[in-house]
Amino acid sequence: MKNRLSVCLDSNVIISGIVFGGIPLRILEMALSRKFHLVLGTNIIE
């Protein structure tokens, strides 16, 4: 099994990616394509 990087995204990165695009959007796209293991706090999920 390959070790993947675990990344915890701040809510600001998520919102910026959705609203403004740019690098935050690229990070979200990488998470969706499973380039790394995404870790989110329960406050972001709720």
Structure tokens at 16: 């910026």
User: Has residue 1 been placed in a domain?
Assistant: no
Domain that includes residue 11, residue range: 6-45
The per-residue pLDDT for range 1-46, each reduced to its tens digit, is 478 899 999 889 999 999 999 999 999 999 999 999 998 877 776 6
Which letter does DSSP use for residue 13 in this model?
A: H
Give CA–CA dist 21/46, Å, rounded.
23
Contact status, residue 46 vs residue 28, Cβ threshold 8 Å: no
What pLDDT score was predicted for residue 42?
77
- Split into its structural domains, the chain has a count of 1
